[in-house]
Structure 1
Amino acid sequence: MNRSLGALLAIGLAGLQLLAVLAVVFSSYVTSESALIHHARILLRDVGVNTIEHSKGFLSPAQGAAELAARLAENRVIASDDPALLEQLLFQQLQIAPQFAGAYYGAENGDFVHVLRMPSGPGVYRTKIITHVNGKRRVQLIWRNDDFSIAQTQEDPTDPYDPRVRPWYVKSKAERGTIWTDPYIFFTSQQPGITLAAPVLKDDHSVRGAVGVDIEISMISDFLSRLNIGAHGKALIINHNGDVIAHPNKNLIKTEDDDGTLRFADIGEIDDPIARAAFGTLAAAGGMPVAKETPSEFVYQGARYVSTALPIISDKLPWTIAVYAPEDDFTGVIKSNRTQNIWLAVVVSLLTAGAGLALAEYIHRPVRAFATRAALISQGEIDASEPMPRTFRELERANAALVREIAARRTAEKEYGETFNMSSRGMAQLHPDTGRFLRANARLTEITGYSDEDLAGMTFTDLLHPEDRRFWTAPHATDSALNHNMRMLRADGATIWVSVSAIVIRDAAGRPLHDVVTLDDVTQSKVNEQEIQRLNKDLSHLARGNTMGQMAAGLAHELNQPLTAIAQNADTAIFMLEREGGLDPELRDIVTEIEQQAIRAGDIIRALRGFIRKDEGARTSFDFAELLGQSLQLLRAEATEAGVRIKTDVPADLRQIVGNRVQIAQVLVNLIRNAIEAMSADRHNERLVTVSARTDGPMLLVTVSDTGPGIDPDVALFSQFATTKRTGMGLGLSICRSIIEGNGGKLWNEEGKQRGAVFQFTAPLAASDNSPRDSKQETGIV
């Protein structure tokens, strides 16, 4: 289907015209809005400046009056020691300056003259005069009318007031100049005010006294209430400590404490929610007062506001002028006109559609010129420095696009930085040449215990354990990634295991920019791995023990039959020799000894079978004395060979104990064998092992002690793989403790003053056991 190029151009250009007009409308709106917001900021600043000037103009007369009174007193224009003249001077100052709430003078000798306005009473002014004559103190109160006539007088001998200790006197005397106090609520008038004081000096520049003026500042709030800042804007004054000392609604600046006294409301608590939203956060963050003019925008209940905070008025008046206003007060009109302008743009676009082709030709002509110029430059026929056609203005858009790309790059870099800092793994950037830390995230400082400042002066190898530094190779040196588990020393000296990964970042030319290291704390995984290895070794040891037990059980069963036959044959031989008569006594003794040794061997075999019989893991009640006797039968040969004597002490009324019989026997044999081995090399002292048992509440307390060399203090008892034996595995005491704890008891080493080692363990006693036994057993083996 054929299409009309003219129609396409007309429609296209009409559409472009519409878009262009809309763009103009919107840009005009944005520009106008921006201009109005800028104008609003200027207006807010002007309001603040006017408020500053008004405050200065309001307070300057007070300063001048105080300084004038001080100079008059200094130059003896009036006598500072004449209370009557001083009262007249101060009275005149109050009449001249309506903002003065009171004026007073205090002398170095404690004299005081104070004239203040009275909201109610016998007179409109009240004077307090304190004098000291011949060592006698007098306090006189005088109420006066506007014409200085006396309305009432009174003396108050109980008044303790001393001007020399008041803050205004002390401060003005110390600074030797005019001072201002922080604003406060006057007690008498309940109005906000401020005190100004100036020292009165003698000819020798020593202090004669001080003049002070109390100034009500509520009229500043009245001034603020008359300001027109848009339709709904307001200005307020905030003291350096955050108190709101002036507000268009002066009732909002006062609040009552629990004790009934009045004070200024803080910006964070004033009953002006918009002011709190505008400046409360700034004050709470320590940004008030501001160092320079600080404009800002904020949203309150869906409405946008603009605000400005100005720097303090002066060092003596550290007040911040704060102004805010709704944005709609300045931009509401153009927002209402925006829709009308859009429709107007549509109408204009339709009217210009007829001129589309002519406009297309007009636009296309310089484009062709640009294309022709580009072709000539590519062919070398003209120089690129030749003047550019007007269409090169589009390059400005390209430049704008480039700026946007730079902004996008910065955004990407910021996102990367946030990812780096918030990563759950420790991350750091290292200098490719020195290995020093360029940057480290919070997780890495948490793992290593070093702060950012500490790491800034360190290299990565400084963190590694000395024995593991050989595993570290900077990735840029080998141009390959590093993945390795290493030990690292924390700032507190603790050793931890970390999984380290490292890569190198290069620029477009291939030069290394920095190495990136990531690490995870895998200390717990290493601990778990070592625990698994230890359990595997324990399991292997127990498996070998179980195999040996099965072999010993088989041997005990096989040896028991020939030993029984030997004993029976020896007994038969004795019987036959006695029946025939003429028995040789020596032969009888030999056969009898054969029978006795066979019976003894059978007893040992039975003890061995009872010791190693199949362990079903069940806990039963059994006789501890019997188990001890069987255990000693197994150890008799070792004790005899080592020359060790074993002594037992077991009560006759001992109840049976509850536990796994075989496991308790294993612990008992291991403790006695350890004692025998410890004393086997000692040929100079008595070699004695004592095994005793006694009831300790619901538990049986068993003690195994020896007279050997004792425990080496460097050995960690009950730790896996800790041993003093040259061929030991270091599992015996650790397994023994696990066995005893598994049977409901405890095993420990009792440190005594006597020679040797003492081990004790407990086992639960059975409910009752009436089986009698000998009170003590003693077995000596030489």
Structure 2
Amino acid sequence: MSRFAPLAALVIAVVIFALDTLTTFDMAIAVLYVTVVLLSLSFAAKKGLLFIGVACMALTLLSFAVSHGENPTSDSFARCFVSLAAIGITTLLAYRVKTAIAVLGESEQRYRTIFLATGVAILEMDFTAVKAAIDRLKTNGFPDIRAAAKANPDFAREAIGMMKLTNVNNTTLTTFGAKDLDTFRTALPVLIGKEMEGSIWALLEAIWDVRTSYESETIMNDVDGNRIAILYNVAMPHDRPTLDMVLVSIMDVTARHEAENELHETHAELAHVTRVATLGELTVSIAHEVNQPLAAIVTNGGAGLRWLKRSEPDLDEVETSMQRMIADAGRASEVIKRLRALSSKTAPQSVPININDVIAETMMLVQREVMNQRVDLKLELAADLPPVSGDHIQLQQVIINLILNAVQAMSDPSVKTRQLLIQTAVGEGVIVAKIRDTGPGFAAEKSANLFDAFYTTKSNGMGMGLSICRSIIAAHGGRITANAEPGKGASFEFTIPFHEETAS
């Protein structure tokens, strides 16, 4: 129609001019020029629109001059004025409409450009059927989406089939390996696998609660069947209550996950190296812990032999010596087992752990170091601590590191009173463990960097011990802090959350 609009506007203008000039109808025929102005909206630019409006007004004046130039009347003047006013007002309104259309067109073009070229996969979807289905569930008396899920466990999969895909951008096709929109639309229900159904239920709950957005991290498949880790966001604006226009943005975070896994492996490797280095510092204590039961085995073995060599062997004494040998061998075996566990390179395991038990086992490894430095050890361990979920070896590494740091701090000859206090307590939903020494302490300005990697106050330190301690405690969902006053010692405290039902 726009192709013939200029010709139609010209014909109409000629007909109106002829009727206004050659007829004697007692009416403002020139008002009909507004149809020419309105028709020009479909083909004329803004300047062209103004020109057409001025031309129509000029034709009106020319027709008035030809028809009434010699004998103008008040009625003819009035009709001319009304016509000119109508044409002028229509032209101005048409100009404003044209301006608004141009702005809207630029905005839409800008949106389409961003939509197609952005580096994030974006899907335009219609959730009208899903919203209607959820509204029916509400009408049927279901209190929430969980109740609906119990009544119909397949509703999430049914909802996926109700989601209508209207458009996607180029990044979506690239991310999922689809050649065009139709291919992706056909494959979409298959790309949403079983692993994503939990996330779909959460999305349905967001729709149920009339939220404006929902975000989740999950796994999808691409067209070739490869698994993709994604972070997706669903925007559900309030001004579209029927959800006929929903934007789903998807980021491929597979590479980020791989980088996080590599970082985790590197951190585990570093923690293992630090554990081995810590065991090197405990060589004297370890040797003592192993030598003590071995020496006892030799002593009891010799005693047993002497009781056997008597003219009348005392079998009761021999049995007692052998029982002592077995007990001492068990002690040596336990020490070696703990050392092997600390030095082994195994994946972290989350099991119920009692912090007091970890501290007790740790003290068996470090007690010689504590005694050599003439440190007065005091334990204040709360009874009936609820277990926490964590890795035994990692938590033991934290405690060993903090105790050795405290003992080494008090080894300075200027420290007169050497006391080490280890406390445990139950806080609000957490287990609190505190290790306090009477060493030289540290300046307040150093506390901000104390847990940074490669930061150390020791001349021969690596600066990794406290950094790894913080990472381990953070991985257990807790926090570690340090406080000190120069000359009055230092205090390190860490917390690990426990579950209330476990405590009860």
Give the alignment's TM-score, normalised by structure 1: 0.27
Structure with the larger RCO, 1 or 2 (CA within 8 Å, 6+ apart): 2
Larger helix proportion of the pair:
2
Give the alignment's TM-score, normalised by structure 2: 0.40
Higher Rg: 1
